[in-house]
Amino acid sequence: MTLRKVANTVQQACVYPPGLDSPTVTRKDRVERRQALFYEAADVIAERFHDRNLSLPEVAAAVGTSPRQLQRIFREVADTGFQEALMTVRMERALVLLDAEEQPPRREVASLVGYHDAGNFATAFRRYWGDWPSKVRRPIEPHPDFR
Protein backbone atom coordinates (compact mmCIF):
# COMPACT_ATOMS: atom_id res chain seq x y z
CA MET A 1 0.00 0.00 0.00
CA THR A 2 1.41 3.37 -0.92
CA LEU A 3 1.72 6.25 1.47
CA ARG A 4 -1.03 8.14 -0.36
CA LYS A 5 -3.48 5.20 0.03
CA VAL A 6 -2.69 4.96 3.74
CA ALA A 7 -3.30 8.70 4.16
CA ASN A 8 -6.63 8.48 2.30
CA THR A 9 -7.73 5.48 4.37
CA VAL A 10 -6.92 7.33 7.59
CA GLN A 11 -8.76 10.44 6.42
CA GLN A 12 -11.84 8.41 5.48
CA ALA A 13 -11.82 6.66 8.85
CA CYS A 14 -11.75 10.03 10.59
CA VAL A 15 -14.72 11.50 8.69
CA TYR A 16 -17.68 12.14 10.97
CA PRO A 17 -21.22 11.28 9.89
CA PRO A 18 -23.24 14.11 8.33
CA GLY A 19 -24.72 16.44 10.96
CA LEU A 20 -22.06 15.71 13.54
CA ASP A 21 -19.28 18.19 13.98
CA SER A 22 -15.84 16.98 14.84
CA PRO A 23 -15.23 17.17 18.59
CA THR A 24 -13.00 20.06 19.49
CA VAL A 25 -11.25 20.04 22.80
CA THR A 26 -10.08 23.48 23.75
CA ARG A 27 -7.11 24.33 25.92
CA LYS A 28 -9.54 25.49 28.58
CA ASP A 29 -11.20 22.04 28.57
CA ARG A 30 -7.83 20.33 29.03
CA VAL A 31 -6.84 22.67 31.88
CA GLU A 32 -10.18 22.11 33.63
CA ARG A 33 -9.81 18.34 33.24
CA ARG A 34 -6.29 18.42 34.70
CA GLN A 35 -7.44 20.54 37.63
CA ALA A 36 -10.33 18.15 38.28
CA LEU A 37 -7.94 15.18 38.27
CA PHE A 38 -5.59 17.04 40.61
CA TYR A 39 -8.38 17.72 43.12
CA GLU A 40 -9.57 14.11 42.90
CA ALA A 41 -6.02 12.93 43.59
CA ALA A 42 -5.70 15.40 46.49
CA ASP A 43 -8.90 13.96 47.97
CA VAL A 44 -7.51 10.43 47.69
CA ILE A 45 -4.29 11.53 49.41
CA ALA A 46 -6.25 13.27 52.18
CA GLU A 47 -8.30 10.13 52.77
CA ARG A 48 -5.42 7.65 52.64
CA PHE A 49 -2.27 9.55 53.75
CA HIS A 50 -1.96 7.24 56.76
CA ASP A 51 -1.48 4.24 54.44
CA ARG A 52 2.23 3.47 54.60
CA ASN A 53 2.21 2.01 51.09
CA LEU A 54 0.31 4.80 49.37
CA SER A 55 1.93 5.33 45.99
CA LEU A 56 1.57 7.32 42.81
CA PRO A 57 0.30 4.30 40.81
CA GLU A 58 -2.41 3.63 43.42
CA VAL A 59 -3.63 7.22 43.40
CA ALA A 60 -3.48 7.36 39.59
CA ALA A 61 -5.58 4.20 39.36
CA ALA A 62 -8.07 5.64 41.85
CA VAL A 63 -8.62 8.75 39.72
CA GLY A 64 -8.48 6.94 36.38
CA THR A 65 -5.26 8.16 34.81
CA SER A 66 -1.70 6.95 34.34
CA PRO A 67 1.01 7.55 36.93
CA ARG A 68 3.05 9.63 34.47
CA GLN A 69 0.06 11.77 33.58
CA LEU A 70 -0.68 12.33 37.28
CA GLN A 71 2.95 13.39 37.83
CA ARG A 72 2.58 15.96 35.06
CA ILE A 73 -0.71 17.18 36.49
CA PHE A 74 0.86 17.74 39.93
CA ARG A 75 3.70 19.73 38.36
CA GLU A 76 1.37 21.81 36.16
CA VAL A 77 -1.42 22.51 38.65
CA ALA A 78 0.39 22.66 42.00
CA ASP A 79 4.00 23.22 40.94
CA THR A 80 5.01 20.30 43.15
CA GLY A 81 5.50 16.57 42.82
CA PHE A 82 3.34 13.76 44.16
CA GLN A 83 5.81 12.81 46.90
CA GLU A 84 6.11 16.40 48.07
CA ALA A 85 2.33 16.73 48.21
CA LEU A 86 2.02 13.49 50.17
CA MET A 87 4.73 14.61 52.59
CA THR A 88 3.02 17.98 53.07
CA VAL A 89 -0.24 16.30 54.04
CA ARG A 90 1.56 13.92 56.40
CA MET A 91 3.65 16.64 58.06
CA GLU A 92 0.69 18.99 58.53
CA ARG A 93 -1.26 16.17 60.19
CA ALA A 94 1.74 15.22 62.33
CA LEU A 95 2.04 18.79 63.58
CA VAL A 96 -1.63 18.76 64.59
CA LEU A 97 -1.17 15.45 66.42
CA LEU A 98 1.98 16.59 68.21
CA ASP A 99 0.29 19.80 69.31
CA ALA A 100 -2.78 17.98 70.65
CA GLU A 101 -3.51 17.95 74.35
CA GLU A 102 -3.27 14.14 74.56
CA GLN A 103 0.28 14.16 73.12
CA PRO A 104 0.49 10.61 71.75
CA PRO A 105 3.95 8.99 71.69
CA ARG A 106 6.14 9.82 68.71
CA ARG A 107 6.00 6.19 67.55
CA GLU A 108 2.20 6.37 67.44
CA VAL A 109 2.23 9.70 65.58
CA ALA A 110 4.63 8.20 63.02
CA SER A 111 2.27 5.29 62.47
CA LEU A 112 -0.79 7.54 62.22
CA VAL A 113 0.78 9.62 59.44
CA GLY A 114 2.09 6.71 57.39
CA TYR A 115 5.65 6.06 58.56
CA HIS A 116 6.99 2.59 59.42
CA ASP A 117 9.66 3.86 61.76
CA ALA A 118 9.66 6.66 64.32
CA GLY A 119 13.28 7.53 63.45
CA ASN A 120 12.45 7.99 59.76
CA PHE A 121 9.45 10.07 60.76
CA ALA A 122 11.56 12.29 63.02
CA THR A 123 14.12 12.85 60.26
CA ALA A 124 11.41 13.70 57.72
CA PHE A 125 9.73 15.99 60.24
CA ARG A 126 12.99 17.83 60.87
CA ARG A 127 13.65 18.25 57.15
CA TYR A 128 10.16 19.61 56.62
CA TRP A 129 9.68 21.79 59.71
CA GLY A 130 13.31 22.53 60.65
CA ASP A 131 13.03 21.08 64.14
CA TRP A 132 12.63 17.72 65.84
CA PRO A 133 9.15 16.50 66.81
CA SER A 134 10.12 16.53 70.49
CA LYS A 135 10.81 20.28 70.28
CA VAL A 136 7.42 21.01 68.74
CA ARG A 137 5.40 19.32 71.43
CA ARG A 138 3.34 21.47 73.69
CA PRO A 139 5.00 21.86 77.10
CA ILE A 140 3.19 19.80 79.69
CA GLU A 141 1.66 22.01 82.31
CA PRO A 142 1.82 20.72 85.89
CA HIS A 143 -1.49 19.87 87.43
CA PRO A 144 -2.99 22.91 89.25
CA ASP A 145 -2.91 21.01 92.59
CA PHE A 146 0.88 20.77 92.37
CA ARG A 147 1.67 24.45 91.81
Where do the domains of the chain lie?
Answer: 27-137
- pLDDT for the residue numbered 28: 85
Neighbouring residues of 138: CB distance < 8 A, sequence distance ≥ 6: 98, 99, 100, 101, 103
Has residue 133 got a pLDDT over 80?
Answer: yes
pTM given for the model: 0.73
What are the tens digits of pLDDT across the range 17-73?
A: 555 555 676 888 888 999 999 999 999 999 999 999 999 999 999 999 999 999 999
User: Distance from first CA to last CA of the chain, Å, rounded?
Assistant: 95
Q: Where are the alpha helices (DSSP H) in the chain?
A: 3-13, 27-48, 56-63, 67-73, 82-98, 106-112, 118-129, 133-136
User: At a CB cut-off of 8 Å and minimum separation 6, what does 60 contact?
Assistant: 41, 66, 67, 69, 70
User: Using one digit for the tens of pLDDT, what is the confidence trace for 104-131?
Assistant: 888 999 999 999 999 999 999 999 988 8
- CATH class entry, domain 27-137: mainly alpha
